[in-house]
Structure 1
Amino acid sequence: MQQVKAVIARAKGAPVELVTINVPDPGPGEAVVRIQACGVCHTDLHYRDGGINDEFPFLLGHEASGIVEAVGDGVTDVVPGDFVVLNWRAVCGQCRACRRGDPHYCFNTHNAKQKMTLEDGTELSPALGIGAFAEKTLVAAGQCTKVDPSARPAAVGLLGCGVMAGIGAAINTGAVTPGKSVAVIGCGGVGVAAVAGSALAGASPIIAVDIDPAKLEAARRLGATHLVDSSRTDPITEIKRITAETYEGADGADVVIEAVGRPETWKQAFYGRDLAGVLVLVGVPTPEMTLPDLPLIDVFGRGGALKSSWYGDCLPSRDFPMLVDLYQQGRLDLDAFVTEEIGIADVEETFTKMHGPGAQPVLRSVVVL
């Protein structure tokens, strides 16, 4: 067992604390990873505020990269010294989805079996089964994906959640290809990543929709060809106008990615699609939200597909190395997602920037250890 510094949320809504925790030696199928960088995601804030569940205390942080320090019995895919990006869906290889060749839909993903604890023995709940606002963390070895060790840790660690969710929503779920038009509604970290994924796939036009000029500008830098401020103009009308200018007869975008997770923006996405277009929901709604009043004849009459994208429908072992290679080639600007680098003691201040009075638009603040 080792003792390391880590950031925990002890109670709902309480400020996070930097404390000493106990990290067990890895058991069978487990690995201890020395964290190099970890992004501050809105999901961590949701954990702190009790929006995920009430299994306090939480060990926060999950968008991370680091070096494998030790592995338990039976681990063969990674060895000590490997540079890895952590993921929160270690696939089982045995369930129906895995056996039918769809491991990205694994029904039985898993995390480390042992628990990290506070010094007094209180068990911690690691965010998304990772808990990486820590000098070291214990994970299932399948949560470690080996990537190019020369890549910048602060940038590639973001593939562990938000950036992968957005890129995957475009490429994997939406099946964006050259010649298709895309609209992305909501240009936070996930939405801007969906813009970047659409650009990587060769889509045109790529229409970014938001109410924040700074977020729209970030989308432009990552590949958006058109910007729509939906506080000033109707986004459905603008999406239809822009796509019709590019493709004769178009009546909306081929793929609309909703990255907000609200009924009203989902409805905009539904009607912003062209006939037989695809709507991808990657924004995460809260449990009480329901679909807007929508005539069933419109669902039938417009055709196409209404999809949800969970973690960008990614398979980390396939997608992480590929995207890191594209980053290393200069074809995917992951550095653009790193708004600032902070210390492990600065997480609470960063939460305030994200959600408190005078909240500031950032793509990602990244804890660097």
Structure 2
Amino acid sequence: MQQVQAVVAKAKGAPVELVTINVPDPGPGEAVVQVQACGVCHTDLHYREGGINDDFPFLLGHEASGIVEAVGPDVTSVKPGDFVILNWRAVCGDCRACNRGEPQYCFNTHNATQKMTLEDGTELSPALGIGAFAEKTLVAAGQCTKVDPAARPAAVGLLGCGVMAGIGAAINTGQVGRGRSIAVIGCGGVGVAAIAGAALAGASPIIAVDISAKKLETATKLGATHTVDSSKVDPVEEIKRICAETYPGAEGADVVVEAVGRPETWKQAFYARDLAGTVVLVGVPTPDMTIPEIPLIDVFGRGGALKSSWYGDCLPSRDFPMLVDLYLQGRLDLDAFVTEEIGIDDIEAAFDKMHGGDVLRSVVIL
């Protein structure tokens, strides 16, 4: 066991604290990773606010990259010295999804068996089974995805959650590509990642929808061909107009990604898609939200698909190395998602910046 500095949320709504924690030596199927960089994600704030569950204290942080320091006796997938991105989808290999060849939908993903603790022995709940606002963390070896060590840790670590969720929502879940149009409602970190993914796949037009001029500007830099300020115009009608210019007769976009997680914007997405189009919900709603009333005949009459995208339907072992390679080739600008690099004691300030919409990601450098 070793002791390291880490950021913990001890009580609902209370400021996070930098404390000393105990990290066990890795047992069977486990690895200890020296964290190099970790993004500050909205999910971490949800944990602090009690929006996920009440299993305090939480060891926050999950969008991370680092170096494997040690592995358990039976681990062969990674070794000490490997540069890895941490993921929260360590597939089991033997559930219904895995056995039918769809491990990206694994029903039995797992985390480290042992628990990290406070100095007094209180067990910590690591965010998404990772807990990477720490100098070192204990994870399941399957949560470590080896990638090219030439990559910048602060940039590629973001594939561990938000950026992968957005890219995957467009490419994996929405299956955009050449000859297909896409609209993305909500241009925060996940939304602009969906736009970057759509651009990578060759979709056109790529329509960014938001009420923030600054976010729409960022969306344009990452591949949006059109922007819609939904505080000024009806976004549904504007999406339809833009798509009809490119594809005469189109009644909306082939794919609409909802990256806000609200009933109002989901309803906009529903009506902004073309006949036989696809809605992809990747924004995270709160438990009290319900699907807005939509006539069932409209659901039937428009055809297509209404999907949810969980982690961008990604398979880390397949998707992370590919996307890192595209980053190193200059074809995917992951650096654009890093608004600022901060210290481990600056996380509360980063949470405050989220509310203002001034950052895509603050990234903790360890």
Report the TM-score, using the length of structure 1 for normalisation. 0.99
Distance in 1 of aligned mates of 2:232 and 2:8:
41
Paired amino acid for 1:146:
K
Question: Residue 7 of structure 2 corresponds to which residue in structure 1?
Answer: 7
Equivalent pairs: percent with the same residue? 84
Distance in 2 of aligned mates of 1:291 and 1:199:
29
Distance in 2 of aligned mates of 1:234 and 1:247:
20
How much has 1:354 moved relative to structure 2? 1.3
Distance in 1 of aligned mates of 2:228 and 2:359:
19
Per-residue CA deviation, residues 303-350 of structure 1 (Å, 9 max, x unaligned), is 001000000000000000000000000000000000000000000111
Question: Residue 344 of structure 2 corresponds to which residue in structure 1?
Answer: 344
The answer on 1:288 being equivalent to 2:288 is yes
Question: Residue 44 of structure 2 corresponds to which residue in structure 1?
Answer: 44
The answer on 1:113 being equivalent to 2:113 is yes
Paired amino acid for 2:5:
K
Paired amino acid for 2:115:
K
1:76-91 aligned at under 5 Å gives the runs 76-91=76-91
Q: Secondary structure at the match of 1:353?
A: helix
Distance in 2 of aligned mates of 1:289 and 1:315:
29
How much has 1:360 moved relative to structure 2? 4.0
Q: Secondary structure at the match of 1:344?
A: coil
Paired amino acid for 1:205:
P
Question: Residue 195 of structure 2 corresponds to which residue in structure 1?
Answer: 195
Q: Matched residue pairs, number?
A: 366
Per-residue CA deviation, residues 8-28 of structure 1 (Å, 9 max, x unaligned), is 000000000000000000000
Distance in 2 of aligned mates of 1:52 and 1:123:
17
Per-residue CA deviation, residues 22-46 of structure 1 (Å, 9 max, x unaligned), is 0000000000000000000000000
Question: Residue 148 of structure 2 corresponds to which residue in structure 1?
Answer: 148
Distance in 2 of aligned mates of 1:342 and 1:332:
23
Question: Residue 26 of structure 1 corresponds to which residue in structure 2?
Answer: 26
Question: Residue 62 of structure 1 corresponds to which residue in structure 2?
Answer: 62
Question: Residue 275 of structure 1 corresponds to which residue in structure 2?
Answer: 275
Distance in 2 of aligned mates of 1:65 and 1:43:
17
Distance in 1 of aligned mates of 2:354 and 2:194:
20
Question: Residue 366 of structure 1 corresponds to which residue in structure 2?
Answer: 363
How much has 1:248 moved relative to structure 2? 1.1
1:91-170 aligned at under 5 Å gives the runs 91-170=91-170
Per-residue CA deviation, residues 171-221 of structure 1 (Å, 9 max, x unaligned), is 000000101000000000000000000000000000000001111111001
Per-residue CA deviation, residues 109-168 of structure 1 (Å, 9 max, x unaligned), is 000000000000000000000000000000000000000001000000000000000000
**Deviation beyond 6 Å, 4+ runs, structure 1:** none
Q: Secondary structure at the match of 1:176?
A: coil
Paired amino acid for 1:81:
G
Paired amino acid for 2:295:
P
Distance in 2 of aligned mates of 1:75 and 1:333:
33
The answer on 1:298 being equivalent to 2:295 is no
Distance in 2 of aligned mates of 1:158 and 1:239:
29
Q: Which stretches in structure 1 are left out of the alignment for 5+ residues?
A: none
Report the TM-score, using the length of structure 2 for normalisation. 1.00
Paired amino acid for 2:110:
H
The answer on 1:320 being equivalent to 2:320 is yes
Question: Residue 75 of structure 2 corresponds to which residue in structure 1?
Answer: 75
Q: Secondary structure at the match of 2:32?
A: strand
Superposed CA RMSD in Å reads 0.5
Q: Secondary structure at the match of 2:339?
A: strand
